[in-house]
Amino acid sequence: MPSLQHGRPDSGSSSSSPRRRYQGHGASKSFADAENSPLLAGPSTPVERHSSDSLEGAFEAADFLIRRDENTLAYLPSAYHSSDESHFLDFIMEKVKSTKWAHLLDRIAVDSEPGLTNAQLMLNNHDLKPVERERRKWGPWNFVGFWVSDSFNINTWMISSSMMVQPTGLSWWQSWICVWLGYAIAACFVVITGRIGATYHISFPVVSRSSFGIWGALWPVFNRAAMACIWYGVQAWIGGECVRLMISAIWPSFTNLHNGMPNSGTTTRDFLSFFIFWVLSLPAIFFPVQTIRHLFTVKAIIVPTAGISFFIWAVVRAHGVGPIIHQPNTSQGSVLVWGMVSGVMSAIANFATLIVNAPDFTRFARKPKDALWSQLITIPAGFAFTSFIGIIVSSSSVVIFHGDPIWNPLNLLQSFLDEGTHGNRAGVFFIAFAFALAQLGTNIAANSVSAGTDMTALLPRYLNIRRGGYICALVGLVMCPWNLLSSANKFTTYLSAYSVFLSSVAGVIVSDYYIVRRGYLQIKDLYSAKKNSPYYFWFGFHWRGYTAYIAGILINIVGFVGAVGKPVPAGANYIYRLNFFCGFIVAGTIYWAMCKIFPIPATSEVWMEIGDQINDPSMAYGETSSEYDEERNASATFKGGEVTENGRIDFEQ
């Protein structure tokens, strides 16, 4: 008899009760309105009026209701009937809210589902709740277009360069194998984490509540949001370099534009190019995620076409593929092996953010299978293709310009532009435009949407994905990314090493969903702050999840210190070369062990995903969508299901 550990939060009193429900964005009507209701007016007790603009009046009102006969409480809005929240919290909040600032905040609040309590308004809004069926518009070809477009970017173009130079010293084909293998492994991780979103149609912040607790999930969410904002600025600066090339191709004099900001760390020319790219990126943030897929479709057509054109142009100019193709590896033995390991891990590390935030996109999938093979095949193929073009074009640059290979495609375009011919200027403009579009798509996919989704979870009453995306863009502007990218600054090393922390988060989430819970989530409770919710744990924090998370970081922390330039033992460096695997495996294993020793509620002993039965469940306490009854659907999965007295659901297969 397989069984399901079923956390059963108090669902409120029966819907058959005659009590009256007040609709609104998370709060009841004011006490002044409520006391005028005939439901509260007793035949023998006069209704005493209290000031509607004082907190003292609220407490007096609460005391008045307490002293009324017990039948009064039966007519209060259902939101007050919670075992964990004060029956009069919303009354008091209404009095507190009756200030000018509160009215202003209420005007800028985002739309929320009617009937939510104040606690639920801190956990839910339209962009956080499960995606309803009409917004699930991503089919398999949308995911193909998404990854084809995302694979073509400047970082992927250059990824093989670090593998082929000393001390790694790989040959071109060895580095290309590393790219294939690294992104194939990364694709597996993306599919694994993305399935949670594709099945239950929830985003990363909501998924993490199952692993880290209702309030504990805010730390990994904040962590990732902060890094997404920083990366947005970095990627936007690179996009600005593309704009600089485009303008210089049209007006060559732009290259010598007077520098009016000599002490800023940048030039007027470069800042103006960056600002233009930043402004032109803003409209793309406006569109919702389910429609932004069209941007990736356009990018998937234009950008690879430009890349192939660049490839043909370079090979024709060099009359061949250049000398790098014939260059053997310069390392042997263990140095060669560890060099290839480092190459594989660098490809995975580049994908760390996308591995964690995969549910943010896959939740818009029409069905889970749409996000499976489309990603598993396209990711390694797309990134390997871009890397191959980068290798050949850079190899050709040795012959064209008689020097060292130029790995950065923007520097190579600048070299073509310096030749000054009309044909070169036209070619540079169109290819630079494609790279700018590539940077835009990458910034939206990896940073803007991720940061917007995370900020929605941090302040759901006032932020949605669109507003969060614009905050991300603003942070990317004011952080002055040119200072972070200066040659004397090691900040880019810190950014690259950040996969250490994300791997630990991914390990906990994957272990929780696939091993501990076996695919079973109680969606309504992921939006509940009740103390008896199965995801509330200890004051909203899941100590098992945090123990595993910290352990996954500690295994890599010494090597991380070495990566930023401090002397550490050689063994720590070897562990750190496997940083993503080490963090993921250690965090996942310890989480599983902790849950084995100290069991948690809402788990299944058999594989049981019920996400495809969710259409648009209500998140309000005590309200369940007529199309989704969790216990009924759960028991329907296995014939003969019954809820026992101890809260377990037993099934007969």
d(CA 454, CA 203): 9
Which is more confidently placed, 27 or 96?
96
Confidence of residue 490 (pLDDT cuts 50, 70, 90): low
Q: What is the pLDDT of residue 97?
A: 57
Across the chain, what does the average pLDDT equal?
A: 79
Which is more confidently placed, 564 or 633?
564
Q: Show the tokens assigned to 264.
A: 């800023």
Which is more confidently placed, 50 or 236?
236
pLDDT value at 383 more than 90: yes
Specify the range with the lowest mean pLDDT, choosing from 15-29, 189-203, 241-255, 555-569.
Answer: 15-29
DSSP single-letter state for residue 159: T
Confidence of residue 328 (pLDDT cuts 50, 70, 90): confident
Residue pLDDT, tens place only, 255-301: 999 998 888 888 999 999 999 999 999 999 999 888 888 888 898 89
Ordered by start, the domain boundaries in the chain are: 20-115, 133-496
Pick among 2.40.50.140, 1.10.3720.10, 2.60.40.1120, 1.10.4160.10: CATH of 133-496: 1.10.4160.10
pTM above 0.85, yes or no: no
pLDDT value at 359 more than 50: yes
Residue pLDDT, tens place only, 106-156: 777 777 777 777 777 788 888 898 998 889 999 999 999 999 988 988 889
d(CA 134, CA 234): 35
Residue pLDDT, tens place only, 392-418: 999 999 999 988 899 999 999 999 999
Specify the range with the lowest mean pLDDT, choosing from 100-109, 153-162, 459-468, 540-549.
Answer: 100-109
Confidence of residue 350 (pLDDT cuts 50, 70, 90): confident
Specify the range with the lowest mean pLDDT, choosing from 85-94, 161-170, 372-381, 529-538.
Answer: 85-94
Residue pLDDT, tens place only, 50-92: 333 444 444 444 444 334 433 433 333 333 344 444 444 455 5
The 3-state secondary structure of 75-141, one letter per residue: HCCHHHCCCCCCCCHHHHHHHHCCCHHHHHHHHHCCCCCCCCCHHHHCCCCCCCCCCCHHHCCECHH
Long-range contacts of 466-471 (CB under 8 A, 24+ apart): 466/285, 466/286, 466/288, 467/110, 468/225, 469/285, 470/282, 470/285, 471/229
pLDDT value at 213 more than 70: yes
